[in-house]
Amino acid sequence: MSALEGKVCLVGGGGNGLGAATAQTLADHGARVVVNDLGTSVHGEGSDPSVAGEVAATIRENGGEAVAHAGDLTNAEYAADLVTATVEEYGRLDAVLNFVGILRDSIVYKLDPDDWTAVLETNLTGQFTLLQAACQHWRQEAGDDGLDTQRSYLAASSYAARGNVGQANYAASKAGVLGLVRTVSSEMYRSNVRVNAMIANAFTRMTETVPEEHRPYTREEMPPERVATFATYLASDDATDVTGCTLYAGGDRVGVFSPPSLDHVGVRPGGWSLDSLAEHFRADVAGDLDLTRTESYF
């Protein structure tokens, strides 16, 4: 029996790259798949319903079961309708994997406020709306008897969440995903729902926006399909109780990031003064920590 036989999986941003590879891999392992995508450019421009339709058609041609659903996940009403339509189509919803995202890169002092808003709306609000809609459905389904199996939500984040030159909007949106996941995983665990974030390294159309001489890897080195395998595992029952985590997948590697932690602490009875901070903060509180953190992670 396939690992996801009988499961129903909804893939947000499933029309390209990581989302498309994951939709196909889920179907290859027995899941019935709903492919959502608005069909915009990598910068969030335009729309094309055929983008989601082509991925669903390819899945069916390969012997899987899939339907397409074109729409904008920044719209909470649409996200709720998408969950409802999935349940109406297949009778249940077992996992949501959301890869929605756009880029509008610029150095912060040149960043257009409209580009800030567009990226935050797509990458963060587009996660919240679908996560909320799925959780509302799962809470209702749980009722008094609970869910028959644990449900799963996986949100796409990025290394840029740690900070990346020219990506203030993108980094803020992807860091916001991590806080969202840590919060909702605690809220939904009692309802038998797990919620995780994935930082993925793979060659996608976003990578192609980087000048070739600065690209960190090739498609052959970091294919989306390697990430899709880990994403599919996280949708399976084998990942039960893996929740609240920031996970990594890329190439031959998978992993788990440590949660935010307080590295060094200085305590001064009565509180700190400017003079005592000047005297002790670097040497005695920070110690050997490097406090000049300007690395670009892309």
* Residue numbers annotated as active site: 170
Say if CB 84 and CB 77 are below 8 A apart: no
Under DSSP, the state recorded for 239 is: G
Cα 223 from chain centroid (whole Å): 17
- Number of CB atoms found within 10 A of residue 3's CB: 16
137 contact partners, CB below 8 Å, separation of at least 6? 83, 84, 87, 93
In this structure, the strands spanning 246-250 and 253-256 are antiparallel
296, amino acid identity: S
Spatial separation of the C-alpha atoms in residues 177 and 98, rounded to whole Å: 11
- CB count within 10 Å of CB 153 equals 27
DSSP assigned state of 251: T
**Coil vs helix vs strand at 278:** helix
Provide the terminal-to-terminal Cα distance of the chain, rounded to the nearest Å: 39
Q: Give the DSSP letter string of 183-208.
A: HHHHHHGGGTEEEEEEEEE---TTGG
Q: Which two tokens stand for residue 298?
A: 């892309």
Supply 149's token pair.
């199996």
Burial class (CB in 10 A: 0-12, 13-18, 19+), 93: buried
Q: Return the DSSP state at 284.
A: I
Residues β-bridged to residue 8? 32
